Amino acid sequence: DKTIVIGEVWMITLWDINEEISRTFKGKGLNTIAISSDNKSLVSAGNDVNLWDISTQKENLLFNPQQNNLCFIMSIVFNLNNTAIIMGDICGNVYVLDSKTGNLIRQIEKQDTPVLSVTLSPNGNLLAVGNADGKISLWNIETWQLLHTLEHKTAIRNLVFSPDGKKLASATNSDLIQL
Model pLDDT for residues 25-81, shown as the tens digit of each residue? 666 667 888 989 998 988 888 777 888 888 888 877 777 665 666 788 899 999 999
| pLDDT above 50 (res 3) | no
Structural contact between residues 135 and 148, judged by C-beta atoms closer than 8 angstroms: no
Structural contact between residues 132 and 152, judged by C-beta atoms closer than 8 angstroms: no
| pLDDT class of 178 with cuts at 50, 70, 90 | low
* pLDDT recorded at residue 85: 95
66 three-class SS: helix
- pTM to 2 decimals? 0.84
Give the other-Cβ count within 10 Å of 118's Cβ: 25
For residue 41, the surrounding DSSP H or E stretch is strand 41-46
The residue type found at 85 is: I
pLDDT over 70 percentage in the chain: 77
* pLDDT recorded at residue 135: 94
| pLDDT class of 163 with cuts at 50, 70, 90 | very high
23 three-class SS: strand
| pLDDT above 90 (res 136) | yes
| Average pLDDT, integer, range 126-155 | 94
